[in-house]
Chains A and B, each alone.
Chain A
Amino acid sequence: MPSTQQVPIVDYLRIGARPYLRASECGYCGARYFDRRNACAKCGRVEFKNARVSNRGVLRSYSIVHRAAPGIPVPYVSALVETDDGTTVRSNLVDCPSDPDHVRLGMKVRLTTYVTGVDDAGTECVAFGYRPA
């Protein structure tokens, strides 16, 4: 039996044996983007290639969110991570208590993935977060 179907929560998350984030990288200036691009916001050129973003980084900023739209579990830690190859990523900090005593600016983190929901067809949604390294 094949295992359950899975889809990534966003298309820049590549799932599989070794999940990672895939950025569009400007062929001229190297600026990286996660969204569908028309041109480079830094230099205006239009050629892009795929780049594999490092799974390791440091916590550059965060907020512990206690108030969110209905249905979103709180509290959670929203994190800004600077990866080892210099790309800033936003996601949740997971596997870490949601309090300022445990969330430390500058702490080393690494990418992790987990199932965050299942649709009516039984397909699982895979999200990514960062956990203390």
Chain B
Amino acid sequence: MAGDSVWVLGTSMTRFGRYPDLDAVDLGARVCLEAFTDGGVTVHDMDVMAAGTLFQANTSMGQRIQKQIGQTGIPVFNVTNACATGATAIRTVYLAIKAGEASMGLAVGVEQMGKMGLLAGGSKVEANVYEPSGRFGAVTSVDGVLGTATMPGVFAQAGMAYAYENDGVGFEQFAKVAYKNHLHSTLNPLAQYQKEFSLEEVMDSPVQSYPNTLLMCCPTGDGAAAAILVSEERLRSMPKRAQKRAVRIAASVLTSDPYVESGQVQPDVNTLTRNAASQAYEKAGIGPEDLDLVELHDCFATAELIHYDNLGLCERGGAGDFIDSGAPFRDGTTPVNVSGGLISKGHPIGATGVANVFEVTTHLRGEAGDRQIKGAKVGLAHVIGLGSSCGIHILEKAAA
């Protein structure tokens, strides 16, 4: 075991859903306090804090949470990185510990979205007098004229590009992903939705952006998640029970999208995920076949399917066969999104990347209750934010 590893000491998340009577600070403060309790520490043990939120990114979220949980004067990094915001908060604390500037830190991700509906794509604005503006010299809004920029559409196109290049991938394979994740969510009391739908119900639900139907799209919602990270040296000075429950971060990786030809019209969610995965596997010294569970970024069913391939969970080009074989179901060879995934657990954007680490950590500790993957020792948490940014954390159970 590497002596300079960083460990997850404590963690917590709210159930994802709707909290109209609370604000984002309430949600963030709640999970921070719970994570302190979980780790057996207090705010006075923290050397550094990173707070992730997307829609309130300019509101000093970290400091606002500190004013509810304890203002100790430590440095706060307020971070934003689209849907990789939470993973970026974790990586920020990880880096501070790795750099030797901190021995324990707090990462929190929070979002209050309410019922935001369709994201991106903009609105229909008809100009009174056409005047070119912006980097494309557009004279009017182009969404719906020059294709789509909405999230369900962009990820639908990512999936259909994969279907064009590979056999055995179509509407039914994408639908199976959503069927699986809704099914998994019935065991997770923290999921926004906990309802099973048949494959037919998934396929027959209203089309948003073909092939993504409504039940193949993640909802918007509210929620928060927190994680306490600690250096190995400091962990060794802590009580045996804390050491036993701690989970080692075997890899922490963040990538952005390198140039690809098609990137200017269609965000490339593949290359940066592939790059992050290969770096993460190398750092952790493991391969995808060693993973006992994976929480990956299924913002849409089409996204999950292509990430089977991007993360190396299946043979190159084999994502259709992979879902058809049942491999990513919780009783399969590589359980994927046993939490219900973004599709059913929910996707309060800033919280998502921390919640994935919470989920994997909880399984590795053997504390996941009804949804526990028995004997899980290694797990991977993946998020991707369009723009683009990809975060991967590989976590390992403490040696007994």
User: Which residues of B lie under 8 Å from residue A128 when comparing CB positions?
Assistant: 146
Q: Is B124 in contact with A35, judged by CB distance below 8 angstroms?
A: no
A112 at interface by CB-CB < 8 Å: no
A73 at interface by CB-CB < 8 Å: yes
User: Which residues of A lie under 8 Å from residue B118 when comparing CB positions?
Assistant: 67-69
Please measure, in the bound complex, the distance between the C-alpha atom of A127 and the C-alpha atom of B161, giving whole angstroms: 24
B156, closest chain A residue (CB):
A63
> B90-148: which residues lie under 8 A (CB-CB) from chain A?
118, 121-124, 126-130, 132, 135-140, 142-148
Q: A7-B130, A11-B132, A88-B262 are in contact. Are A65 and B139 (CB under 8 A)?
A: no
Instruction: Name the residue in A62, A87, A106, A120 with the highest tally of chain B Cβ atoms < 10 Å from its Cβ.
Output: A62
Q: Is A63 in contact with B210, judged by CB distance below 8 angstroms?
A: yes
Q: A61-B161, A91-B147 are in contact. Are A10 and B122 (CB under 8 A)?
A: no
Please measure, in the bound complex, the distance between the C-alpha atom of A90 and the C-alpha atom of B147, giving whole angstroms: 6
User: Which residues of A lie under 8 Å from residue B140 when comparing CB positions?
Assistant: 9, 116-117, 125
User: Which residues of A lie under 8 Å from residue B156 when comparing CB positions?
Assistant: 63
B26-54 near A? 1/0 per residue, CB < 8 Å: 00000000000000000000000000000
Instruction: Name the residue in A11, A63, A74 with the highest tally of chain B Cβ atoms < 10 Å from its Cβ.
Output: A63
Q: Is B123 in contact with A60, judged by CB distance below 8 angstroms?
A: no
Q: Which of B124, B130, B147, B264 lies in contact with A119, CB distance below 8 A? A: B130
Dominant secondary structure at the B interface: loop
> B240-271: which residues lie under 8 A (CB-CB) from chain A?
259, 261-266
Q: Chain A interface residue count: which class?
A: 35 or more
User: Which residues of A lie under 8 Å from residue B265 when comparing CB positions?
Assistant: 34, 80, 88-90
Please measure, in the bound complex, the distance between the C-alpha atom of A92 and the C-alpha atom of B70, giving whole angstroms: 53
Q: Is B139 in contact with A7, judged by CB distance below 8 angstroms?
A: yes
A35, closest chain B residue (CB):
B135
User: Which residues of B lie under 8 Å from residue A100 when comparing CB positions?
Assistant: 171, 210-211
Q: Is B152 in contact with A67, judged by CB distance below 8 angstroms?
A: yes
A66 at interface by CB-CB < 8 Å: yes
A46 at interface by CB-CB < 8 Å: no
> A71-124: which residues lie under 8 A (CB-CB) from chain B?
71-76, 78-80, 82, 86-92, 100, 105-106, 116-117, 119-121, 123
CB distance from A49 to the nearest CB of B (A): 17
Please measure, in the bound complex, the distance between the C-alpha atom of A7 and the C-alpha atom of B129, giving whole angstroms: 11
User: Which residues of A lie under 8 Å from residue B157 when comparing CB positions?
Assistant: 61-63, 78, 80
Q: Which of B126, B136, B263 lies in contact with A11, CB distance below 8 A? A: B136
B215-226 near A? 1/0 per residue, CB < 8 Å: 000000000000
CB distance from A62 to the nearest CB of B (A): 6
Q: Is A10 in contact with B136, judged by CB distance below 8 angstroms?
A: yes
Q: Is B266 in contact with A72, judged by CB distance below 8 angstroms?
A: no
> B151-179: which residues lie under 8 A (CB-CB) from chain A?
152-153, 156-158, 160-161, 163-164, 171
User: Which residues of B lie under 8 Å from residue A75 when comparing CB positions?
Assistant: 207
B279 at interface by CB-CB < 8 Å: no
B124, closest chain A residue (CB):
A71
Q: Is A68 in contact with B259, judged by CB distance below 8 angstroms?
A: no
A8, closest chain B residue (CB):
B139
Q: Is B207 in contact with A66, judged by CB distance below 8 angstroms?
A: yes
Q: Is A80 in contact with B144, judged by CB distance below 8 angstroms?
A: no
Q: A11-B132, A88-B261, A125-B130 are in contact. Are A78 and B161 (CB under 8 A)?
A: no
A5, closest chain B residue (CB):
B130
Instruction: Name the residue in A78, A105, A119 with the highest tally of chain B Cβ atoms < 10 Å from its Cβ.
Output: A78
CB distance from B302 to the nearest CB of A (A): 9
B206 at interface by CB-CB < 8 Å: yes
Q: A69-B144, A78-B147 are in contact. Are A63 and B160 (CB under 8 A)?
A: yes
Which A residues have a C-beta under 8 Å from some C-beta of B?
A: 7-12, 31-36, 41-42, 60-76, 78-80, 82, 86-92, 100, 105-106, 116-117, 119-121, 123, 125, 127-128
Q: What 8 A-B pairs come out closest when comparing CB atoms?
A: A11-B137, A71-B124, A72-B144, A63-B156, A88-B262, A64-B210, A90-B265, A61-B161
Selected A-B contacts with CB under 8 Å, 18 pairs? A9-B140, A9-B142, A10-B146, A34-B136, A36-B136, A61-B158, A62-B160, A63-B148, A64-B209, A65-B150, A66-B210, A69-B144, A74-B144, A100-B210, A117-B140, A119-B130, A121-B130, A125-B139
Known: A68-B150, A69-B118, A71-B126. 13 other contacts (CB 8 A): A10-B137, A61-B160, A65-B210, A72-B124, A78-B148, A78-B209, A80-B157, A80-B161, A92-B145, A100-B210, A100-B211, A106-B164, A121-B129
Which B residues have a C-beta under 8 Å from some C-beta of A?
A: 118, 121-124, 126-130, 132, 135-140, 142-148, 150, 152-153, 156-158, 160-161, 163-164, 171, 206-212, 259, 261-266
